[in-house]
Each structure stands twice: as C-alpha cells, then as structure tokens.
Amino acid sequence: MSEKDEKINSLVDMGFSEDEANMAITRCGVDGDLSILIDSISASRVAGTLDLSNHQVTNRFFDCFGGRKKARLLEERKKKRKRYGGTTQGNQPSLDCNHDEHMLIPNPMVGFNLPNYSPPSIRVTRRILEQDIGPPYFYYENVARALNGVWTTFSRSLYGIQPEFVDSKHLCAAARKRGYIHNLPIDNRAPLLPLPPKTIFEAFPRYKKWWPSWDRRTQFNCLLTSVASATVTERIQHALESTGNPPPPSVTERIMAECKRYNLVWVGKNKAAALEPKEIEYLLGFPKDHTRGVCDTNRYKSLGNTFHVDTVAYHLSVLKGMFPNGVNVLSLFTGIGGGEVALHRLGINMRTVVSVEIDKASKRIFRDWWDQTQTGTLIEIDDVKSLTNDEVAQFVTRLGGFDLVIGGSPCNNLAGCNRYTRNGLNGEKSVLFYEYVRILNVVKSAMARK
C-alpha cells in the first residue's frame, strides 16, 4: 500500500470522506503529519460552510476591546497573514496550514455566561454545524494562555467551534484560566449549590488571624503542581523577624512575590506556609480526602493538573435534563476524575465510564472514588496511544454509543511556567491532543453509522 493510500485509509477510519482525505493530501502533500491533514480538513469544512469574516459567536465579551485596540489587533492579524502567507510557503493555502492566527481571549474571562454574573449578559448565539451537534457531546479543556496559534489549532481541529475561556476565579477563590471547546448547549445552565466561597477569607476564615495588612490578596493565583517547601517559608520568616514592624516595602514586595508565586497563607506570626492538599481539594470542588492515600507530591501534582469541578459542572449541567437514565462517558486523560466528580455532583448517573489515564497515582485515586461512590461500570485503559480505532468502535457498538467524550490533554509543553520544554503543540506530551481528536472522530463516525 502506498503512503498516500495508507493516509487516506487512516483518515477514512477517522470518519472523514475519501474526497476530503484526497483534497487534504493534495493541499498539504503526502509527507505531512496526519495531524496536519486533519487540521486541513477541519479548516476546509469551516471555510466551506461558515463565513469566517463574521464571528459565529456574537458575544459582547468578544467585543469588549475598545474600538481602537480592536482595529489595531485586526491590523496586526492582517500583517501577520501577509508575512506568513503565500509566497514563503509555496502554494500552501494560508488557511490550511497556517498556525499563526491570534485567538482573542475575552477580558473579563467569563466564558459565554456565568452564574449570577451581572450585568445580565446579552444573549449569546453560537452556531455549530448540524453534523457536529451531539450526541456524542464532547468537552475539551486546556490552559487558556497557551502559545499563540495553539487555540486556533484546537478550534480548527474541533470543527471550528469557538472556545469558551473561563477564569475560575469568578466561581471560586483561586484563579484558573482555561479554555473549553464543546458542543453542549449553553442555555439554561445551572451551577452546583451552594456556590463556593470566592475569597480567601471566606474559604479559610482562620487565616485572618495572622494575615498581615500589607498582604492585599483576596484570591489565590493558579494552583500549580508543586508547592513551596520549608526553605522558602523559613526565608520569609527570617526576613520578617530581622526587620521592624511594619517591614519596609523592599522586604514586603519580595515576600509578596513569593506568596503570589506559591499561594502561601499565613498560619502564625511571621509564618507563611503552603496550602495543604485537602485545602486545594476543597478549592477545586473535590470531596474531602479525594486524593488521600498517595504521597503528597502526587497529590499536589494530580490536583494541579485537574479541572475546577464547579466550572466544568456548570457547563455540563445542561446534560442533566437530557439524560435522565444516565450517560456513557469516554473519559480521556481522566486524571483524578474532575469531569466525573462534576457529573456525580450534578446528580447525573454514569452507567459506564471508559477511562484512559496513564498515571498510576491518579488512576488509583480515581478508582477508589469510583468504587466508593458509583454503581456503574468502570473500564480502565492505560494509554491513549494504545487505544485503537477498532477498539473505540467496538466500545461504541457494545455500549450503544457514548453520550459524552470528555478530557483535557496535557499542557506541559504549552504552560508558561515550563522553562525547559515549552515547545508548543508538537511537544512530547501536548501532541497527545491529536489523539483526542482521533478518538473523538472515531466515536462520531461509528455513531453516525448506526
């Protein structure tokens, strides 16, 4: 079989038509990665059916830039297109293989809507192609501030659907800037109740006692995968003890930088400390002791990598009315089960969850939670790469289809704090995004055949 035929076969397996596959190979060449071909097909679907000059999401939050600034951004985009388009890339159409488009992140980062967010939002209308409306519903997540162009690729690979960017600080006491692409309805969402506390003191009143007046934080920064150790807090304590009260600005500024970076709290006189795992569980909407039983390093790591339950639950809440008999879920990059915990807290019964997760500690945490709270079936798979198209199709047949495909692919190579391997979407871990696309497309086409 020639390389071209092989690629066409793979693409057809994923649910693309033979014509589409042929076109993509003509445009991008037979040497291109499968991912580039998928991009190309998705792009032409979008280009062919939607008018890109008119935003499909009319949302006042995308209009929140002042006129001048917006005009400037548009100018820059034009310039970039000029710079990267056409001539330097041979005869490649710029829309297909150009990853340099900007994706505007709305400010404030409140998504399409939020519970109790005022002023009442102007009605958001979002159009999704008929063929891409669920079931299966899908829900994809990653860091909002990825490298430029990455979200354009996410969107393009996921049927041109506009991402929804939400900073969870609008829902809880910690920032968590994330983008979500999904084909769920966005009307009639309902938050989990009670609404979580939105300030540090509401969440942890006991820290008021030792909180210095010059620490003006009211919310935490993003909860990361590792925390400050004793030397950091000792250094702070020493600095405070060796200066007067109040300490000079030079000292407080340095200390504040550490506090913000590590999300420190004040637990005694001059004594700052890292948040405990159970406190992070609470902030992120997990049940008490959810991650208990593995070592602290693994608890922090898996918590740093997970969803904010309340944010995700708010988006998934629309499923409750649609599936009174429960759902079958394909959960990719499950981690400690943020999506499942959200469904559970929404009162949505999970008949079956096929969970793909490679990390042993996360798997154990999730399995323990499942055994203690669920009556449905859990099927565990280790690695997305080893999950073949045939196996996915067999699951679809066996279970009668998936109602929800949910997952957030690795951000390691996209996250700003990675100084070593922030090499973008083709990095070792983040490239697994394309496995999500592959598997989702197989599910879609297998369900369409039924």
Partner DNA sequence: TACACTATGACAAACACG
Partner DNA sequence: CGTGTTTGTCATAGTGTA
Q: Check residue 420 for interaction with DNA (CB under 7 A).
A: yes
Query: Looking at 225, 237, 349, 374, which residue binds DNA (CB under 7 A)?
Result: 225
Among 219, 109, 232, 228, smallest CA distance to 175 is for 219
Count the site residues for DNA by CB under 7 A: 51
Q: Check residue 292 for interaction with DNA (CB under 7 A).
A: no
Residues 299-358 touching DNA, rule: CB under 7 A, are 304-305, 333
Residues 2-61 touching DNA, rule: CB under 7 A, are none
Q: Which segment (5-13, 52-60, 288-296, 385-393) binds DNA by CB under 7 A?
A: 288-296
Q: Check residue 250 for interaction with DNA (CB under 7 A).
A: no
- Three-state secondary-structure class, residue 378: strand
Residues 174-213 touching DNA, rule: CB under 7 A, are 175-178
Catalytic status, residue 28: no
Residues 130-149 touching DNA, rule: CB under 7 A, are 141-148
Residue whose entry in the numeric block shows the structure tokens 């922030």: 422
Residue whose entry in the numeric block shows the structure tokens 């369900």: 447
* CA distances for 297 relative to 94, 356, 362, angstroms: 45, 22, 12
d(CA 386, CA 394): 14
Q: Check residue 226 for interaction with DNA (CB under 7 A).
A: yes
Give the length of the chain: 450
Distance of CA 83 to the CA centre of its chain: 31
d(CA 144, CA 179): 5
Distance of CA 375 to the CA centre of its chain: 28
Distance of CA 283 to the CA centre of its chain: 17
DSSP-assigned letter for residue 431: G
Query: Looking at 6, 296, 382, 390, which residue binds DNA (CB under 7 A)?
Result: 296
Tell me the per-residue interface mask from 261 to 280 with DNA, x by CB under 7 A, - otherwise: x-------------------
Number of alpha carbons in the 13 Å side-chain half-sphere of residue 76: 11
What would you report as the CA-atom Rg of the chain, rounded to the nearest whole angstrom? 23
Q: Which is nearer to DNA, 11 or 259 (CB)?
A: 259
Q: Check residue 218 for interaction with DNA (CB under 7 A).
A: no
Q: Check residue 281 for interaction with DNA (CB under 7 A).
A: no
Q: Please say whether the beta carbons of 146 and 411 come within 8 A.
A: yes
Q: Check residue 439 for interaction with DNA (CB under 7 A).
A: no
d(CA 365, CA 367): 6
Q: Which segment (15-23, 51-59, 208-216, 223-231) binds DNA by CB under 7 A?
A: 223-231
Kindly state the smallest distance separating residue 301's Cβ from DNA, in Å. 7
Residues within the interface to DNA (CB under 7 A): 72, 75, 105, 107, 141-148, 175-178, 221-222, 224-226, 229-232, 260-261, 294-298, 304-305, 333, 361, 408-412, 414-422, 429
Which residues are designated catalytic? 411
